Chain A
Amino acid sequence: MYLEMLKRKKKGRFAFEEFMTDEAKELFKVVEAKKKKEVS
């Protein structure tokens, strides 16, 4: 199953429902930016 999930990840097709408040959206932007900075 794990391998199958990895395969699926490659295909990149998925669907889910996500809700976030504006505040959360801002927060995630900061988190993503920080992560990119760490990687580079």
Chain B
Amino acid sequence: MSLNYMIPASKFKRYLPKDYVELVDYGPFGKKYSEVGVKNMGTYKELVEEHPMCSGCWMSYYIKIIFASLPNPEDTVTIGTAGCGRLAISQAAVPFIYGNYGDQNAMASGITRAFRLRFPDRQKDVITIAGDGGMMDIGFSMTMHAWFRREKFTTIMLDNEVYGNTGGQESGMSVEGAVLKMSPKGKNFGKMPAMQLAITAGCVYVVKMSPTNINKASKAIRRAIFAARNLGPTFIHVYTSCNIEYSIPTPDVFRDAKEKEKRSFCI
């Protein structure tokens, strides 16, 4: 039913908002990835278009990549928590659950199991998308335990190395020495080893990247979703800078991402 449920009756169509109708007619629902996907961004009605993110926000770009990469957008549910990310994620034409602080992976555990009970022969993708604070600080226990329990869904951490949405406080993923709110003398320990934690906790597919290459970024997302369907938890740790809190001029955002790629976000 999943594809049909969003297609309006032909006579009803003209009363629906234009945005909705365009999504049905020109969106990625029910289409092959080769027809839509990241390579064709700009040629079809994307799942996220307008969003309230800051100018030059690298995170919003990555969120667009996530939604353009979904193998099955008409059967996907995203879950997030407080943070910048959900401002754009909630604008996507995919059901989004915004729960309490840091609870995304616990909530995903519940809904994934519920879907598997109710639709044993169908695939419904569950993806949690949250920031470094939501994943590795406040939601740490729920993130880790979902992995230990081998819950079959994808976790994506949008790591901007700071609490961007609450005004620039230090997070567990901030770099050592970073002078931020709540670390007025500089952070005195380094980034938490999220990737190693994920591997140790049993994730079957883990990627850590600065998404400078749109195809590679998309491929990682799709692999994470496919592996989560069949095998177990998957995790993508992605650098999505906060150009406001780290004072990166908009034209330099990409350069910053490339630098990160060379330093902390590569092998």
Contact = CB atoms under 8 A, between A and B. Distances in A.
Interface of A: 1-2, 4-6, 8-9, 14-21, 23-24, 27-28, 31, 38-39
Given A14-B213, A19-B195, A27-B230, A1 B265 contact: no
A34 B141 CA distance: 37
Contacts, number: 83
A14 B227 CA distance: 23
Nearest to A16: B209
B182 interface: no
Given A8-B212, A31-B226, A14 B261 contact: yes
Contacts of A18: 205-208, 220
B265 A17 contact: yes
A14 B267 CA distance: 11
A21 B231 contact: yes
B206 A28 contact: no
A16 B266 CA distance: 5
B262 interface: yes
Nearest to B235: A19
B201 interface: no
B3 interface: no
Contacts of A1: 56, 61, 253-254
A11 B214 CA distance: 12
Given A1-B61, A1-B253, A1-B254, A19 B207 contact: yes
